[in-house]
Amino acid sequence: MKKSLTPREAERKAKNKKLYKITAILFAFAAVLFIIVIAATSGNNEEDTPTTPVVTANKEAGDEMYSIHDEARDKVSYGMTDTQRDEALEWIADNYGNYFQDSDTMKKAAEYGSMLYGAYMDDKTMSTYSQLGYDLFQTVRDVYREYESPESDSTLGNLQQIKESLAELGYFVD
């Protein structure tokens, strides 16, 4: 037999049921609101777009640059003559700012840069030559394989380093 509720117990049970319904409705509303906020903020807003460039490097161009790099370093594996060094420095200074004008110029810059780097990378007394070669190769390699543009901050920074190294070696460029 079912126990009958007193009027007070019945009233309390009704309040609890009503409170339960209100709580369930508020919880459902909060969940929907949360989903809307997440959906709205996870979109592709311009403020959320990263400023780092997307890497779209051309692999074949990169392979070609590394082939030039290896061949140039092989040329000077037993040292670089003064004539080779002076020819490289003259060309680098004469062509400063024009390394990206065409494919052949970029390849020539990569070759001279790699020669300087390869010849002097282990000689601490010639570190300016080595650094100049490294900066030049890195700069033209990244533009050639379309990883950087000639106007990118990285490229401009490398060009400034090249200019400073040339000045240290007595070549002043604009």
The CA distance from 70 to 52, in Å, is 30
Task: Kindly report the pTM of this predicted structure.
Answer: 0.66
Angle at 38 between CA 36 and CA 41, to 5 degrees: 105
If you write DSSP's letter for every residue of 8-40 in order, what string do you get? HHHHHHHHHHHHHHHHHHHHHHHHHHHHHHHHH
Question: Which residue ranges make up each domain of the chain?
Answer: 7-47, 59-168
Task: Note the pLDDT tens digit of each residue in 117-171.
Answer: 999 999 888 999 999 999 999 999 999 999 999 999 999 999 999 999 999 999 9
For the chain, give the longest Cα–Cα distance.
114
